[in-house]
Amino acid sequence: MKKTKFFSLVIVLGLFIFFIQYDGAAKAWGIPESDSREFAKSVTSAPGKTLYVDGTQADIRITGTDQNQISVQAVVEVGDSSEEFLQQFLADTSLVLEPYGDGFRLKLRTPRDQRLDFERYRREVSGSRKRIPRRKLRFSLSAEIQITVPSEQSLTVSNRYGDIHIKGVGGTFYIDNSSGEVEINRCRGELDLRNSYAEVSVVDFTGPVFINNSSGAINLRNIAGKTEVHNSYKPINFDGIGSSLIIKSNSSEVIGRIVKGDCQVTTSYRKVDISGVEGRLEIEAPSSSVSVRAIRKEAVIKNSYNPVKVEDVGSFLRVHGQSSMVTAMDISKDVYIRSSYKEISVGGIGGSLEIDGSSSSVTARDVKGNATIRSSYRDILVERVDGWVDIDGNSCPVTVSDIKQQVDITSSYKLIQVKRVGGGLRVDGGSCSVTADDIGGDVDIVNSYKYVILKQTSGSIVVRGSSSPIEVSRIKRLPADGKIELTTTYKQIQLALPEDADVTLTATTRYGRIQSDFPVYLDSEDNKKIQIKLGKGNTIVRLETSGNIILKKE
């Protein structure tokens, strides 16, 4: 117990000695001291004049007032291990506000920016001839400048390593800053702003805006003028652009809403999310995910490797994607989509549709115009198209239904299913099974090795199969000047005809048998060919195969 009290006493005594000697120790170890100096300047100005803030390294705040006067309050704080140097440095520092060009120039002058050999100046002031090692240079400098100007005052500001805040000023603004935040609030006129490595924010600005902010974020809100921004690597956010908007970026996320004019966005590798554009939207964003909504005019999107989602476009849509999943809904006019390997899904298309999707699954629904689809190896589904449909699929399963006009399908190796077509149907399907139900026009099918099943047709029927079973039934209507030609090899043909049909039929088989529900006329000694005439015999029917032939009565 006594030992504990003894050690506690030693610790307390040591701390006491440390704090007593801290001032001397700090100087001995080179720990900086600090000192500051205040400045005040003012000059009578007038609306429309320009204030030049020249080459400062300070935090700057500029505020517009209803007085015709420029007033400046500045504080400069310096830190260094030499008290003599601090005093001399502040003595050699000045704030100048003087007439210049079409207005006035404000300049904060310090030995740091006036002397080319600042280290030599430091040695001279400190009374040392030795070169000071860089690791022992503990100099620090900070400055704050507060400026009030007439509310109609143009500004040209050159600054480094400090923040800039401007509020309630109208005029022509040229801001050149680096490594500091810039905020422009409730201003008007024209803005040309250059910055780097820190955030730029412009809020409630009336007039055109140009911003170049390398490696810095950009935030825009309520800009009533043409706007153009450039940056890299950091996000761009906007809300409410009253005219056109151009964004040119490298590897930056872009998120925003409400553009009254056209909108053009260039970026890469980061998300793009834009809504509420009243003009034309153009996006070029390789390796970026893209989401857009509520675009009044046309939209053109180029990207790769990431999804594209588009909703509610008032004109046409163009999407050029590489390995991009694409979803497009509620597009008022024509749609063109090119992508590969990923799913493409569209719906609610007010015009025609064209999809070029190498190795992409495709789903298309509710198209007012025509639909042209090219893909390979993946499923194609098309439903409810008011125009014609043209599908070119390589090894694609194809499902088509509720098409008002003609349907053309080319594919191979996979099942083709077609239902409820107002016009004709043409299929070129190597090694494809084909089923078709309720076809309003002529049917023309070429296939091999897989079955063809047709139901509820209303036009001529031509099926040219190789080793393909063929079945036709529930015929709605046989055109008086039409025909039915069903040919294949080695497989069975089954045809069901209405009891009151007007047909002249010839059926020939090489190796199979012929079975008929109708009275037949044998046209060969070996019963391999028959002829039938029903009613007026207006429709010519020809059946030919190496397999069996079955005629049914419905």
- Give the CA distances from residue 17 to residues 12, 23, 31, 472, 485, in Å, rounded to whole numbers and listed in that order: 9, 11, 18, 109, 114
Residue keyed to tokens 């553009």: 259
Compute the CA torsion angle 66, 68, 70, 71 (nearest 10 deg): -60
Please tell me the chain's helix, strand, coil percentages from 3-state DSSP, rounded to the nearest 5: 10, 60, 35
pLDDT at residue 113, rounded to an integer: 73
What is the model's pLDDT at position 521? 72
How far is CA 211 from each of CA 229, 249, 299, rounded to the nearest angstrom?
5, 11, 25
Q: DSSP alpha helices (H): ranges in 1-98? A: 2-20, 22-29, 83-91
Look at residue 134 and give its three-state secondary structure: helix
Q: Are 446 and 470 in contact (CB under 8 A)?
A: no
* pLDDT the model gives residue 445: 98
Give me the residue label for tokens 């030795």: 130
Bridge-partner residues for 152, per DSSP?
170
Sign of CA dihedral 532, 536, 542, 543: negative
Q: What is the pLDDT of residue 116?
A: 54
CA-based Rg of the chain, rounded to a whole angstrom?
Answer: 41
Dist. CA 429–CA 121, nearest whole Å: 89
Per-residue pLDDT at 253: 98
Task: Give dist(CA 456, CA 473) in Å, integer.
Answer: 7
The pLDDT, as a whole number, for residue 141 is: 85
pLDDT at 82: 76
Q: Is 512 helix (H, G, I), strand (E, B) or coil?
A: coil
Q: Residue type for 118, please?
A: F
Q: How confident is the prediction along the chain (554 residues), in pLDDT tens digits per residue?
A: 444 444 454 444 444 444 444 444 444 444 458 899 999 999 999 888 999 998 788 999 999 999 999 999 999 999 887 788 888 889 989 999 999 999 999 999 888 776 656 666 766 776 655 554 444 456 788 999 999 999 999 999 999 999 999 999 999 999 999 999 999 999 999 999 999 999 999 999 999 999 999 999 999 999 999 999 999 999 999 999 999 999 999 999 999 999 999 999 999 999 999 999 999 999 999 999 999 999 999 999 999 999 999 999 999 999 999 999 999 999 999 999 999 999 999 999 999 999 999 999 999 999 999 999 999 999 999 999 999 999 999 999 999 999 999 999 999 999 999 999 999 999 999 999 999 999 999 999 999 999 999 999 999 999 999 999 999 999 998 888 899 999 999 999 999 999 888 999 999 999 999 999 998 876 665 668 899 888 888 899 999 999 999 999 99
DSSP characters for 70-93?
A: EEEEEEEEEEES-HHHHHHHHHT-
Tell me which H or E stretch contains 125.
helix 118-126
In degrees rounded to 5, what are phi and psi of residue 86? Answer: -55, -50
pTM, 2 dp: 0.86
